[in-house]
């Protein structure tokens, strides 16, 4: 596996971790606003939908990378 692909995967996972932290904080802020009586259903739904899409795309990318590593390790034997 080229170093560029490995570095790219590492940076993708790192940025996903940062996004996860921001998502949790966003939902916390929206929950506090919801408890104060402001309707936040649309914003919560949008936030969860975007997070779900990012999770699916990141997971499929990492799954593809894992398959490439397995194939490469099997061909070297």
C-beta separation of 62 from 12 below 8 A = yes
Q: How high is the pLDDT of residue 18?
A: 94
Q: How high is the pLDDT of residue 58?
A: 82
Collapsed DSSP state (helix, strand, coil) of residue 1: coil
Kindly report, residue by residue over 20-64, the tens digit of the pLDDT: 999 999 999 999 999 999 988 999 999 999 999 998 988 887 677
- Residue bearing the bigger pLDDT, 66 or 54: 54
| This prediction's pTM | 0.71
Average pLDDT over residues 61-68: 70
39: left (phi over 0), alpha (psi -120 to 50) or beta: beta
Give the residue extent of every domain in the chain: 3-75
- Residue bearing the bigger pLDDT, 70 or 39: 39
């Amino acid at each position: 596996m080229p170093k560029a692909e490995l570095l790219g995967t590492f940076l993708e996972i790192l940025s996903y971790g940062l996004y996860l932290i921001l998502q949790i904080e966003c939902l916390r802020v929206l929950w506090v606003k919801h408890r104060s009586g402001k309707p936040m259903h649309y914003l919560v739904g949008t936030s969860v939908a975007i997070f779900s899409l990012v999770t699916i795309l990141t997971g499929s990318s990492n799954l593809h990378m894992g398959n490439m590593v397995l194939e490469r390790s099997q061909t070297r034997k």
